[in-house]
Amino acid sequence: EDVKNLLLHAVNAGKYIGAICAAPSILGKCGLLKGKNAICFPGYESVLEGAIISKESVVADGNIITAKGMGVSQQFGHKLVEVLYGQDKAEEVIKQSQYA
Protein backbone atom coordinates (compact mmCIF):
# COMPACT_ATOMS: atom_id res chain seq x y z
CA GLU A 1 0.00 0.00 0.00
CA ASP A 2 2.90 2.37 0.78
CA VAL A 3 4.47 1.73 -2.63
CA LYS A 4 1.12 2.31 -4.34
CA ASN A 5 0.65 5.62 -2.51
CA LEU A 6 4.16 6.72 -3.41
CA LEU A 7 3.65 5.84 -7.08
CA LEU A 8 0.28 7.62 -7.22
CA HIS A 9 1.78 10.70 -5.60
CA ALA A 10 4.70 10.71 -8.06
CA VAL A 11 2.48 10.29 -11.12
CA ASN A 12 0.02 12.94 -9.94
CA ALA A 13 2.97 15.30 -9.39
CA GLY A 14 4.11 14.74 -12.98
CA LYS A 15 7.22 12.79 -12.00
CA TYR A 16 8.64 10.12 -14.27
CA ILE A 17 8.24 6.46 -13.35
CA GLY A 18 10.51 3.84 -14.89
CA ALA A 19 9.84 0.12 -14.63
CA ILE A 20 11.69 -2.78 -16.26
CA CYS A 21 11.17 -6.55 -16.45
CA ALA A 22 8.32 -7.62 -14.12
CA ALA A 23 8.14 -4.23 -12.36
CA PRO A 24 5.57 -2.80 -14.81
CA SER A 25 3.13 -5.30 -13.30
CA ILE A 26 3.17 -3.20 -10.12
CA LEU A 27 2.16 -0.17 -12.15
CA GLY A 28 -0.62 -2.21 -13.74
CA LYS A 29 -1.90 -3.39 -10.36
CA CYS A 30 -1.95 0.25 -9.21
CA GLY A 31 -4.06 1.26 -12.22
CA LEU A 32 -1.35 3.51 -13.64
CA LEU A 33 -1.20 1.90 -17.09
CA LYS A 34 -4.83 2.31 -18.15
CA GLY A 35 -4.84 3.47 -21.77
CA LYS A 36 -1.04 3.71 -21.86
CA ASN A 37 1.39 1.86 -24.12
CA ALA A 38 3.59 -0.40 -22.02
CA ILE A 39 5.75 -3.52 -22.13
CA CYS A 40 7.06 -6.00 -19.54
CA PHE A 41 8.85 -9.32 -19.20
CA PRO A 42 7.04 -11.88 -21.39
CA GLY A 43 4.32 -13.62 -19.43
CA TYR A 44 3.39 -10.67 -17.22
CA GLU A 45 1.25 -8.91 -19.82
CA SER A 46 -2.01 -10.01 -18.17
CA VAL A 47 -1.25 -7.94 -15.07
CA LEU A 48 -0.58 -4.73 -16.98
CA GLU A 49 -4.20 -3.88 -16.28
CA GLY A 50 -5.65 -1.55 -18.91
CA ALA A 51 -2.37 -1.16 -20.81
CA ILE A 52 -1.95 -1.26 -24.54
CA ILE A 53 0.75 -3.93 -24.85
CA SER A 54 3.52 -2.71 -27.13
CA LYS A 55 5.73 -4.77 -29.40
CA GLU A 56 8.63 -2.40 -28.65
CA SER A 57 11.33 -3.35 -26.14
CA VAL A 58 11.26 0.05 -24.43
CA VAL A 59 8.20 2.28 -24.30
CA ALA A 60 7.67 5.83 -23.06
CA ASP A 61 4.06 6.98 -22.77
CA GLY A 62 3.60 10.24 -20.93
CA ASN A 63 5.55 10.09 -17.71
CA ILE A 64 5.75 6.27 -17.59
CA ILE A 65 8.65 4.39 -19.17
CA THR A 66 8.57 0.59 -19.30
CA ALA A 67 10.99 -1.99 -20.67
CA LYS A 68 10.90 -5.68 -21.45
CA GLY A 69 13.76 -6.96 -19.32
CA MET A 70 17.43 -7.16 -18.45
CA GLY A 71 18.43 -7.69 -22.08
CA VAL A 72 17.28 -4.18 -22.99
CA SER A 73 18.63 -2.40 -19.92
CA GLN A 74 20.99 -0.20 -21.96
CA GLN A 75 18.15 0.90 -24.24
CA PHE A 76 16.02 1.53 -21.15
CA GLY A 77 18.77 3.70 -19.67
CA HIS A 78 19.11 5.63 -22.90
CA LYS A 79 15.36 6.20 -23.04
CA LEU A 80 15.50 7.58 -19.49
CA VAL A 81 18.30 9.96 -20.54
CA GLU A 82 16.27 11.01 -23.59
CA VAL A 83 13.15 11.69 -21.52
CA LEU A 84 15.03 13.58 -18.81
CA TYR A 85 17.70 15.42 -20.82
CA GLY A 86 16.62 15.32 -24.47
CA GLN A 87 17.46 13.49 -27.67
CA ASP A 88 20.86 15.18 -28.16
CA LYS A 89 22.11 14.03 -24.75
CA ALA A 90 20.77 10.52 -25.34
CA GLU A 91 22.61 10.32 -28.67
CA GLU A 92 25.79 11.54 -26.97
CA VAL A 93 25.49 8.78 -24.37
CA ILE A 94 24.80 6.18 -27.06
CA LYS A 95 27.93 7.24 -29.00
CA GLN A 96 29.98 6.78 -25.83
CA SER A 97 28.52 3.32 -25.17
CA GLN A 98 30.34 0.14 -26.00
CA TYR A 99 27.53 -1.19 -28.16
CA ALA A 100 27.09 1.92 -30.36
* Sign of torsion over alpha carbons 95, 54, 27, 85: positive
Is 21 an annotated catalytic residue?
Answer: yes
Count CA atoms within 13 Å of residue 51 on its CB side.
30
Residue 14's H or E segment, with its range, is none
Please tell me which residue in 11, 19, 21, 38 is annotated as part of the active site. Answer: 21
Catalytic residues: 21
